[in-house]
Homo-oligomer: A and B are copies of this chain.
Amino acid sequence: MPLLVVGSVALDSVETPHGVVENALGGSATFFSYAASYFTPVRLVGVVGEDFPQAHREMLESRNIDTSGLSIEKGGRTFHWKGRYQGDMNTAETLEVHLNVLGTFDPDLSPKFAETPFVFLANGSPSMQRKVLSQAKKRQFVVADTMNFWIETQRDELYALLREVDGLVLNDGEARMLTEEVNLVRAGWKVLDLGPRFVIIKKGEHGALFLSREETFVMPAFPVADVVDPTGAGDSFAGGFMGYLTSVGKTDLASLKTALAYGTVVASLNVEDFSLRRFQRTQRDEIDRRLATYRGMMSF
């Protein structure tokens, strides 16, 4: 079964204690798509500028990622993020943001894409996310991401979105901002009151917390000795999570829990190199081996 993702495709310049990359392929939909492609075919919706290298598109296509929804805006430049990580690398310091073509991103789903049953709305304006949803006529299961900026500037639109999605993914700081609740369990419960069936609170190097009305799941991060670049870890997590669910075509609690584990493991691979480099030398069997190791680290 295919999986639809709508989000950003970027050229990132990133500096960490381990090195520097300039204009490397990035963006939420990119990391998500590659991560999900280990499990299921992906349909990517986004926008880039004329500067976007054709080689990137070909690389994504080679992963069974349908890029027919990745439009090129004439005369435009691709979204560019420049950031730096220091110390424990838990927080990105944004040095430059050039929205470029992303600033007017207004996606229209093709008839084929509009029929996709599993949908992930990567970080973007809630009004845009809702507009995509209204086009996804055959949607069965929708998960959205968001960020501080939208909580601050489009809270009502975000609330409206939350009444229309099955799940929300956000990080701990965002959960606290959205709910004005310090304790993450209580913050999660407050998110559930806003509509979604479940919420996943990402805690960076500390793993993730899943809450629904029925169950609480908690997953530590897979311990990584060589964190080279955390960029895209959260989107890779979401990609592994949604990719697995789409591949099994189920969203019961047991499947959601296994999906959390896959998301964790896929994210742990992504941070071991810049951009998509680690993914590009990773096959599915390595993910399954790491999943087995992960299970062994905490089963008792």
Contacts and interface: CB of A to CB of B under 8 A. Distances in A.
A257 B300 contact: yes
Given A186-B225, A225-B186, A219 B220 contact: yes
A107 interface: no
Nearest to A87: B182
Interface stretch (A42-50, A128-136, A202-210): A202-210
A297 B211 CA distance: 10
Given A258-B300, A300-B295, A223 B219 contact: no
A104 interface: no
- In the assembly, how many copies of this chain are there? 2
Interface string A48-72: 0000000000000000000000000
Nearest to A184: B223
Interface string A161-200: 0000000000000000000001111100100000000000
Residue among A89, A189, A299, A300 having the largest count of chain B Cβ atoms under 10 Å = A300
A95 interface: no
A298 B219 contact: yes
A218 interface: yes
Contacts of A223: 184-185, 209, 216, 218
A145 to B, nearest CB: 21
